[in-house]
Amino acid sequence: MAAALFVGFLCFVQQAQAQSDQLKKLMLANNCMACHMIDKRKYGPQFDEISSKYMADKKAIETLVTKIKAGGKGVWGEDPMPPQPQVSDADAKTIAELIMVLKPKE
């Protein structure tokens, strides 16, 4: 029983690690790193705070996919995010999903 719990915990940690690695790869490939980091504020909001902000929002994924592709401003401050037309629909959706499974910031 204890061993099973421990193995379960390890899988959970490994999965979280794999997810954040995949998110970083997509951020690099789509040039998000110029303005964003996962756990530190850069020009744009940090991704774990975005996760906390939309935690209770059932439409979070759609909202974020739209924003990633179209850009916008006024949610986090006056700095605008330019549109990112280079991001494929599939990548935008995966990025939004990976943001929303980030451990929210305490």
Q: What is the 3-state secondary structure (H, E, C) of the chain?
A: CHHHHHHHHHHHHHHHHHHHHHHHHHHHHCCCCCCCCCCCCCCCCCHHHHHHHCCCCCCHHHHHHHHHHHCECCCCCCCCECCCCCCCHHHHHHHHHHHHCCCCCC
Q: Is 38 a binder of ligand HEC (CB under 6 A)?
A: no
Q: Kindly tell me which of 6 and 79 has the beta carbon lying closer to ligand HEC.
A: 79
Shortest distance in whole angstroms from residue 8 CB to ligand HEC:
30
**Count of residues in contact with ligand HEC, rule CB under 6 A:** 27
Q: Which is nearer to ligand HEC, 85 or 106 (CB)?
A: 85
Nearest to 47 by CA among 18, 17, 20: 20
Per CB under 6 A, the segment of 1-9, 10-18, 62-70 that binds ligand HEC is: 62-70
Q: Cβ closer to ligand HEC: 18 or 75?
A: 75
Query: Which positions touch ligand HEC (CB under 6 A)?
Result: 30-32, 34-36, 43-45, 50, 64, 67-68, 72-77, 79-82, 84, 87, 95, 99
